[in-house]
Chain A
Amino acid sequence: MKPTAFDYHAPASPEEAVSLLGSLGDGAKIIAGGQSLTPMLALRLAVFEHLVDIRRIESLRGVSRSNGTVRVGAGTTEAAVGRSDVVAADVPLLARATPFIGHLAIRNRGTIGGCVAHADAAAEYPAVALALDATIETLSPRGTRSIPAAEFFTGIWSTALEPDELITALEFGVWSGRTGFAVEEFAVRSGDFAIAGATVAVELSSSGSVDRCAIGLFGLGPTAVRATAAEESAAGTAVPDLNPDEIGQAALAGQDVPSDSHGSAAYRTRVGAAMVATAWRRAVKEASGE
């Protein structure tokens, strides 16, 4: 099917983009890579009178590092995130999640800002943002905001964004020391959204116990979620005393796991626990320098 008719706007700056959104009102929508929005327009699941294209705004693109944080511009494509040496070195979890997103043609257009704004429960980046306590930087006609990832994903395809609010960048803290990172996902076919997936980050102390750890789940709730209870039970414990399979089960305990034609909640829970356990093993192995 073809989308309904809309007017096209191509602002040159973030300020111009949000002032357009403010003046055009509810009928206006940001389009970035269009890899989620265009199918919704074509299927007429979404109808907008105005599309505000932010892909031409140079200042929204690019990756930079300063003072222990890595800033990724919202308009940076998923492919560019995947190619970035800074991301690979300083935010390995983000780099390792990238190849799981769709396929290359999708990643060549889709942006990190669009991915977190779209907030699909089965998308990888929201789970990475949650696990790494990323900050989502925004601009609206009322000024700038820094929204912690933990407060950003509010429900199925819903976020803390106002309709006239633009994500300008994501900021990730750099983990240093004896760290390890892994992403595991199970999907029906390569490039499909995950049935269940997990992102794990661990930092070990010099004596080999877990100094801190973060587990982000995707495809396993109404939004991406953090497995806080499982993290807390693992923190402070020596690695040999931890059973990865039990961490997987603990991570899934009490989650609001969805059921659909691809799998029941019980099935997804089992797959999700296995994804956590596998990612945990790999992250710990890397952190231990094995």
Chain B
Amino acid sequence: MSDDIADVKVTVTVNGRPRRAAVPPRLTLADFLRERCQLTGTHLGCEHGVCGACSVLLDGEAVCACLMFAVQADGAEVTTVEGLSPGDGELSPVQAAFRDHHGLQCGFCTPGFVVSVTAFLRDNPDPSDDQIREALSGNLCRCTGYQGIFKAVRAAAESSSASATPSETR
């Protein structure tokens, strides 16, 4: 059955760079990013939408890369955790806050948290504690007990609302 299914040509802009590939329709976006783009920061935990380890931004919105096929992302812009840092080994504000506030231990869940928290703080620059907890509910962590993660998000929100100009917070 799988032999007679043709690959489909897709173009996905990943972290600003257009990636052209011929993919089998059943290739998930997560596997496309990890195996075809060698961007292994997008992790796979459950592969059914529960753990959030595979979170990426699709045209700016957080989605589970395990619950999409690469063919569905044809023409879209994808940002992975690798695309969030400014480069040269520097950390993004959310990443730096995770490091400073013990928001990670083994680090398996961290890329997913960093991606969803980045989108959350962009849309809610001044969140309440309850909003932060709700925003974290789509990501599971087996190590930290979440308190460090919560503190990191609080700190990232405060540092960005202190530095952001209105045009940056949109």
- Residues on A lying within 8 angstroms of B by beta carbon are 1-8, 10, 31, 34-35, 38-39, 41-43, 49, 51, 53, 55, 79, 99, 102-106, 108-109, 189-191
Contacts and interface: CB of A to CB of B under 8 A. Distances in A.
A39 B25 contact: no
A104 B116 contact: yes
B81 interface: no
Interface stretch (B60-68, B98-106, B143-151, B155-163): B60-68
B26 A190 contact: no
B111 to A, nearest CB: 13
A104 B67 contact: no
Contacts of A190: 134, 137
5 contacts: A1-B47, A4-B1, A6-B25, A10-B71, A53-B71
Given A6-B5, A109-B67, A53 B72 contact: yes
Nearest to A55: B72
Nearest to A51: B25
A109 B116 CA distance: 14
Q: What bracket does the count of chain B residues touching chain A fall in? A: 20 to 34
Given A105-B62, A108-B61, A191 B25 contact: no
The dominant DSSP class at the B interface is mixed
B52 interface: yes
Given A4-B26, A102-B49, A49 B68 contact: no
A5 B2 contact: yes
Nearest to A2: B26
Nearest to B56: A105
Interface of B: 1-2, 5-6, 8, 24-26, 28, 31, 47-49, 52, 55, 58, 61-64, 66-69, 71-72, 116, 120, 134-135, 137-138
Contact of A8 (B8, B62, B66, B68): B8
A115 to B, nearest CB: 14
B33 to A, nearest CB: 15
B25 A79 contact: no
A35 B72 contact: no
A106 B61 CA distance: 11
A190 B134 CA distance: 8
Contact of B61 (A8, A10, A38, A79): A79
Contact of A189 (B28, B55, B66, B137): B137
B68 A105 contact: no
Nearest to A53: B72
Contacts of A6: 5, 25-26
A226 B155 CA distance: 46
A7 B26 CA distance: 8
Given A104-B116, A105-B138, A109-B63, 16 more contacts: A5-B1, A5-B25, A7-B5, A8-B71, A39-B67, A42-B47, A42-B66, A104-B138, A105-B116, A108-B58, A108-B63, A109-B64, A109-B68, A190-B134, A190-B137, A191-B137
Contacts of A10: 71
A2 B135 CA distance: 28
B132 to A, nearest CB: 12
Contacts of A38: 28, 48-49, 66-69
B145 to A, nearest CB: 15
A104 B5 contact: no
Contacts of A51: 25
